[in-house]
Chains A and B, each alone.
Chain A
Amino acid sequence: MRETQDVPIRHLIPVEFLEPNWRFWSFVFISILGSILIAEYRVPVYDGLTDPFYTPTVLILPLVVLFRLTCYAYRKDYHRHLFYHPNSCPSDKRIDNAGRIYTGETGFFRIENIHRYFMYTAWAILPFFYYDIYYSTVYSGSLTVTLGTIILTINAVAVTFYTFSCHSVRHLIGGYRDCTNCPVNKNSKNLIYRFQSKLNSHHEAIAWTSLIMFVFVDLFIRGMVAGIVPNIILIHRGF
Chain B
Amino acid sequence: MLKILPSRYRYPLFFVGILLMEIAGVLFKLVSLSEEGIEAIVIIGFLVFAFSIIAT
Chain A: residues with Cβ within 8 Å of the partner, total of 11
Query: Which single residue of chain B is at the shortest CB-CB distance from A41?
Result: B25
Among A27-35, A148-156, A168-176, the stretch that binds chain B is A27-35
Give A56 Cβ to nearest chain B Cβ, in Å. Answer: 24
Judge whether B15 and A33 touch: CB under 8 Å: no
Judge whether A34 and B22 touch: CB under 8 Å: yes
Judge whether A33 and B29 touch: CB under 8 Å: no
Query: Which single residue of chain B is at the shortest CB-CB distance from A33?
Result: B22
Does A100 sit at the interface, judged by CB under 8 A?
A: no
With a cutoff of 8 Å between Cβ atoms, the chain B residues found around residue A34 in the complex are 18, 22
Does B5 sit at the interface, judged by CB under 8 A?
A: no
| Residues in B7-35 with C-beta less than 8 Å from chain A | 11, 15, 18-19, 22, 25-26, 29
User: A24-55, CB under 8 A of B: which get 1 and which 0?
Assistant: 00110110011001001100000000000000
Give A216 Cβ to nearest chain B Cβ, in Å. Answer: 13
With a cutoff of 8 Å between Cβ atoms, the chain A residues found around residue B18 in the complex are 30, 34
Query: Which single residue of chain A is at the shortest CB-CB distance from B15?
Result: A26
Does A202 sit at the interface, judged by CB under 8 A?
A: no
Give A81 Cβ to nearest chain B Cβ, in Å. Answer: 8
- A33 vs B11: C-alpha distance when bound (angstroms): 18
* Residue from A27, A29, A37 within 8 A of B25 (CB atoms): A37
Judge whether B15 and A37 touch: CB under 8 Å: no
- A177 vs B7: C-alpha distance when bound (angstroms): 41
Query: Which single residue of chain B is at the shortest CB-CB distance from A32?
Result: B22
Does A10 sit at the interface, judged by CB under 8 A?
A: no
Judge whether B26 and A30 touch: CB under 8 Å: no
Judge whether B22 and A37 touch: CB under 8 Å: yes
Give B35 Cβ to nearest chain A Cβ, in Å. Answer: 11
The 7 closest A-B pairs by CB, nearest first: A26-B15, A37-B25, A33-B22, A30-B18, A30-B19, A34-B22, A37-B22
* Chain A interface residues toward B at CB < 8 A: 23, 26-27, 29-30, 33-34, 37, 40-41, 81
Besides A26-B19, A34-B22, A41-B25, 10 other CB < 8 A contacts? Answer: A23-B11, A23-B15, A26-B15, A27-B15, A30-B18, A30-B19, A37-B25, A37-B26, A40-B29, A81-B11
